[in-house]
Structure 1
Amino acid sequence: MTTRFATPEIVRGSRVTMEEAVMELLPITGSVEVQRDTPNREHPTHTHPVDETLLIIDGTITFTIGEQSWTCDSGDRLLLPAGTLHSSIAGDEGCLYIIKLMEMKSA
């Protein structure tokens, strides 16, 4: 069953390893994406057609949604509903994170 997010949310957590992050987000059948951003790498404002969960493994990244920004580090999760306008910039040390895409089921 796919969980839908009503609003963007940051869930603070404790430090995780790559294996812990992958195993936490890996669906029963499917895959996750590993993303590495170089220091200060910027992702300009954009959207995604599906819900996403991002779990930070190492480094920091600042997400901006509307007028609000959050800096996340290891163990923190961003729950991002489909269609949410957002941007991000990696911290001075860069950032390593896992992305779980939650595809919408057709009726």
Structure 2
Amino acid sequence: MTTHFASPEIVRGSRVTLEEAVMATLPVTGSVEVQRDTPHREHPTHTHPVDETLLIIDGTITFTIGEQSWECDSGDRLLLPKGTLHSSVAGEQGCLYIIKLMESTPA
């Protein structure tokens, strides 16, 4: 079963460890990506062909979608529908986060 997001959403949470973040996002079959951004690392505006969930572990990162920006820290999730134009900039201490790609899989 594939879950699709209707619109981008920030879900605020509480501090998580790397292991907790991996286990919270790891699909029954599949994998997640661990991403580390150095301080002020910028990801210019781009899209993805699949839905994504990003779970912040440590540090901060600011996501911008259209004219709106959100700063996220440990425990916060960004639910990002495929095709959404977005950018991000890591905070003063950089950022460590998990990315879960929501690809369609046969039932």
State if a TM-score over 0.5 links the two structures. yes
Separation in structure 2 between the aligned mates of residue 33 and residue 68 of structure 1, nearest angstrom:
26
Instruction: Give 1:40-59 correspondences, 5 Å limit.
Output: 40-59=40-59
What is residue 35 of structure 2 aligned with on the other side?
Answer: 35
Q: Which residue of the partner structure matches residue 62 of structure 1?
A: 62
Partner in structure 2 of residue 25 of structure 1? 25
- Matches of 2:42 and 2:93, distance apart in 1: 13
CA–CA separation in structure 2 for the residues paired with 1:105 and 1:48: 17
TM-score (norm 2): 0.97
Structure 2 match to 1:93: 93
Task: Could you tell me which runs of 5 or more consecutive residues in structure 2 were left unpaired when the two chains were aligned.
Answer: none
- Pairwise CA RMSD of aligned residues? 0.9
Give the Cα separation in 1 of the matches to 2:34 and 2:46: 19
Provide the rounded CA distance (Å) in 2 between the counterparts of 1:33 and 1:105. 18
CA offset at residue 2 of structure 1?
1.5
- Provide the secondary structure at the position in 1 that maps to 2:95: strand
CA distance in 1, matches of 2:24, 2:105: 21
Aligned residues between the structures? 106
C-alpha distance in structure 1 between counterparts of 2:2 and 2:89, whole Å = 28
Once the two structures are superposed, the pairs formed by residues 6-21 of structure 1 within 5 Å of their partners are 6-21=6-21
